[in-house]
Structure 1
Amino acid sequence: MSPRTSTLTVPPWLILMGALAALGPLAIDMYLPAFGAIAKDLQVPQGLVERTLASYLLGLALAQLIYGPLADRYGRKPPLVAGLVLFTLASLACAHSDSIGALLIWRVVQAFGGAAGMVIPRAVIRDHLDTRAAAQALSLLMLVMGVMPILAPLMGGQAVTLGSWRAVFYIMVLMGLALLAIVIPFMRESLPPGARSPLAVRTIARNFMHLLRHRGFMGYSLAGGLGSAGMFAYIAASPQVFISIYGVDPRWFGLLFGLNAMSLILASQISARLLERHAPVQLLRRAQFFLVLMTACALVLTLLGLISLIWLMLCLMGFMASQGFVVPNATALGLAEQGPRLGTASALMGSLQMFSGALAGYGVSIWHAQTPLPLAAALTACATLSWLAGRFAMHQGTVHQGA
């Protein structure tokens, strides 16, 4: 596909970007069914195991700030290859960890490798496509990414049942090696030499300061990031809520997790189709309204003591479906005016998302209750803040609605 086209097809490079972007969700979701096994084997409370998720998200947030400037200076491919190598080696180290402290450390290192798969695909998409087509591409990307929350817990659960929790990380090693085997010989560099920025402290600082002062970019980044933080709160709390509170058999945990992921996938594909007739900002505005509505319903039902597993699942599916519209459209709108600094912009956007997710995940891990109240409260707070950030960005008018 030629650069900056506005007509979207699904070329091989976009499928590869989807596979790379799925690496992060894979490393997050696959080991969720293993929380109990890890706690038992390492003889620690499950709350400490849950914090390895927050540590992974924190590592993702910090690492993306590094990959952005590197991607703008050396191109997209070299930092990506380095990140995949680091992810693969750290996954092997996680499999051999013999204490919760070691697992925490290696999860952070693993995140520093996996972050490349989050920064680079967004930048590559914007290298090729304009705002509307990029929003469509990011929606299609979520189709690939969305498969992982369905398959990963099922794969993780089977690995724990047939082997041990360490087998989960061996699977991640194989995933890293498989992606390296494709990226090294087949991925083409999408950033021309003439478009590269110097790797100087002053230039990097100037780019970050420009982005932090860009109200439209910050508003859309926070709109997507704070909404995604709710997803990470759900990911962190779901084993406790489904298995411990509602007594769901761990074998069926992946099914419930997959239903919510399917809501995200289907909505993101509907978003991609609607973008042929509607501007991204229009879809974002409507989706954020439903994002708040679904989470508020869950919170009210929980406070009234009327929440059940069925009602909770309906609210969660509505929340995830709304995210299928919010994330790709907010991302495309936020990156619309950042041509010379796309790598840095993608990195800062991802870091804001991961910092928010780490805080939300840590919050639900330390708030213990025998009801879904911590989860419902976290989702409502994230959705409301996401809506406020989106309204702020739209008010700035920095991105033309027809872009």
Structure 2
Amino acid sequence: MLAIADSLNSPLEQVQVSLSSYLAGYAVGMMVFGPLADRFSRQTLAIWGLVGFTASSIGLALTNDIDMFCFLRVVQAFCGAAATVVVPGVIRYYYKEHTAKGMSYVSMIMMIAPLIAPSLGALILLYFDWHAIFWFLAIYAILVIIALQFFCIAIPTKADVPLSLSFFLKSYRIVLTQKKARYDILSSMLASFAFFCFLTSVSFIYLEYYGVSEQLFGVLFAMNVIALMLGNFANTRLVPRLGSRRMLNIGLAIGVVCSTILVILSSQSVSVWVLASAIAPLMMSLGIIASNADALILLSFEHQTGTATAVIGTLRFGSGALVGPLLALAVPESPLPFSSFMFAAIVLTIVCQLLNRRFEKSVNATEIKE
């Protein structure tokens, strides 16, 4: 961001706005393309989204105006959402009752990005300027488009349904009013909130509070991300035998114990390695919770997986947007506010699952009477 600000002769704050713009564009894109993923071919939608992503990336590589840069970032995110919103539906179709296993595999792959992206970006900037990063993204998107030509994603769609505003509204009404998935949607949102608490606070905790070097920060951050990946890997091994609901409960049991320990440690003077060791298993539990909550949501919607994915994504980034202001209100001078928010998110998720269990019991009791 510093390199972009210097090159475009703009304040760093204005360049940072482009990140918020990107997230906003991505959220809007998911809301638009979610129902469309249920209506059109997912493969075609992904390809057109990647074409738009490629074009906007090329535009970003060529622009020298900050306003155009921010605008193209919105377009880039909006188009990119078309490619990502189709993925959970494909997983649900092919993995069926083992959807959580497929979601865990995808999450593991996605976690590789934050591990290698900083190093890759630094390597590109070592030999080129910041424009090369967007040329790299454009080339990467083209390679994905080519790869998609060799796969046939033959998933039934609702092609006979007329495309209109009522189609969008009906799709969202079905998802948002489905009582069976309501508490799992809230659980997914709360797990994302806990993850964004870590993501937002990690630089303050390690770099400012503990004053570690940037090299050690990279090691500590990688350790926590690898723990998240291990949680997803463990889920792929166990969920076929135990099921998504039981794995979700196991993740919550681990999470509440680890978050309690983290709160206790955060209120005391402990070394950075002790705190990082407490964060790691908590991140592992979040990987288990999020994958299984998302899988249970998708299994509740056979014909609205795209719309359900859009709802999950919008709530995920919406909850993430709340983290910054809430932490700012707490005036973080130690890891305690961050750990307290993570603990609260886990506890609220447990409450959601208890309410879901009560709802399922009432439904079963009604069916028995009938």
Distance 1:173 1:212 in 2: 36
- Shift of the 250–85 alpha-carbon distance from structure 1 to 2, 3 Å rule, reads farther
Q: CA deviation at 1:338?
A: 0.9
Q: How many residues align?
A: 362
Residues 38 and 157 in structure 2, CA contact (< 8 A), matched pair in contact too: no
Distance 1:72 1:322 in 2: 31
Aligned partner of 1:254 among 194, 198, 218? 218
Q: CA deviation at 1:321?
A: 0.3
Corresponding position: 1:90 with 2:53: no
Q: Please name the residue that 2:89 is paired with.
A: 123
Q: CA deviation at 1:122?
A: 0.3
Q: Please name the residue that 2:176 is paired with.
A: 212
Structural mapping, 1:321-332, within 5 Å: 321-332=284-295
Q: Please name the residue that 2:118 is paired with.
A: 153
Identity %: 28
Residues 22 and 77 in structure 2, CA contact (< 8 A), matched pair in contact too: yes
Q: Please name the residue that 1:3 is paired with.
A: none
Corresponding position: 1:109 with 2:37: no
Distance 2:56 2:331 in 1: 31
Q: CA deviation at 1:330?
A: 0.8
Aligned partner of 2:44 among 78, 98, 115? 78
Q: CA deviation at 1:136?
A: 1.2
Q: CA deviation at 1:326?
A: 1.0
Distance 1:293 1:107 in 2: 40
- Shift of the 125–247 alpha-carbon distance from structure 1 to 2, 3 Å rule, reads same
Residues 180 and 300 in structure 2, CA contact (< 8 A), matched pair in contact too: no
Corresponding position: 1:342 with 2:305: yes
Unaligned runs of 5+ in 1: 1-34
Summarize deviations over 1:309-345 as a string: whole Å, max 9, x none: 2233223212210122112211111111211222212
Q: Please name the residue that 2:109 is paired with.
A: 144
Q: Please name the residue that 1:376 is paired with.
A: 339
Secondary structure at the counterpart of residue 240 of structure 2: coil
Q: CA deviation at 1:165?
A: 4.4
Q: Please name the residue that 2:11 is paired with.
A: 44
Residues 63 and 115 in structure 1, CA contact (< 8 A), matched pair in contact too: yes
Q: Which moved more, 1:262-271 or 1:312-321?
A: 312-321
Aligned partner of 2:262 among 298, 307, 311? 298
Q: Please name the residue that 2:100 is paired with.
A: 135
Distance 1:122 1:80 in 2: 12
**TM-score if structure 2 supplies the norm length?**
0.85
Q: Please name the residue that 1:360 is paired with.
A: 323
Distance 2:204 2:58 in 1: 27
Letter in structure 2 aligned against 1:44: P
Task: Work out which of the two has the higher radius of gyration on C-alpha atoms and give 1 or 2.
Answer: 2
Distance 2:206 2:343 in 1: 19
Letter in structure 2 aligned against 1:89: A
Summarize deviations over 1:61-98 as a string: whole Å, max 9, x none: 22111111111111212221122122223334444565
Secondary structure at the counterpart of residue 299 of structure 2: coil
Q: CA deviation at 1:121?
A: 0.6
Distance 2:208 2:12 in 1: 14
Residues 57 and 135 in structure 2, CA contact (< 8 A), matched pair in contact too: yes
What do you get for the CA RMSD once the two structures are aligned?
3.0
Letter in structure 2 aligned against 1:224: S
Q: CA deviation at 1:236?
A: 3.3
Structural mapping, 1:52-67, within 5 Å: 52-67=18-33
Letter in structure 2 aligned against 1:63: G
Q: Please name the residue that 2:235 is paired with.
A: 271
Q: Please name the residue that 1:9 is paired with.
A: none
Letter in structure 2 aligned against 1:218: R
- Shift of the 195–93 alpha-carbon distance from structure 1 to 2, 3 Å rule, reads closer
**TM-score if structure 1 supplies the norm length?**
0.78
Q: Which moved more, 1:367-376 or 1:321-330?
A: 367-376
Distance 1:361 1:323 in 2: 19
Distance 1:196 1:291 in 2: 45
- Shift of the 57–194 alpha-carbon distance from structure 1 to 2, 3 Å rule, reads closer
Aligned partner of 1:234 among 198, 223, 239? 198
Letter in structure 2 aligned against 1:230: A
Q: CA deviation at 1:364?
A: 4.5
Residues 153 and 254 in structure 1, CA contact (< 8 A), matched pair in contact too: no
Residues 139 and 271 in structure 1, CA contact (< 8 A), matched pair in contact too: yes
Unaligned runs of 5+ in 2: 365-370
- Shift of the 252–342 alpha-carbon distance from structure 1 to 2, 3 Å rule, reads same
Secondary structure at the counterpart of residue 304 of structure 2: helix
Letter in structure 1 aligned against 2:138: V
- Shift of the 295–153 alpha-carbon distance from structure 1 to 2, 3 Å rule, reads farther
Secondary structure at the counterpart of residue 85 of structure 2: helix
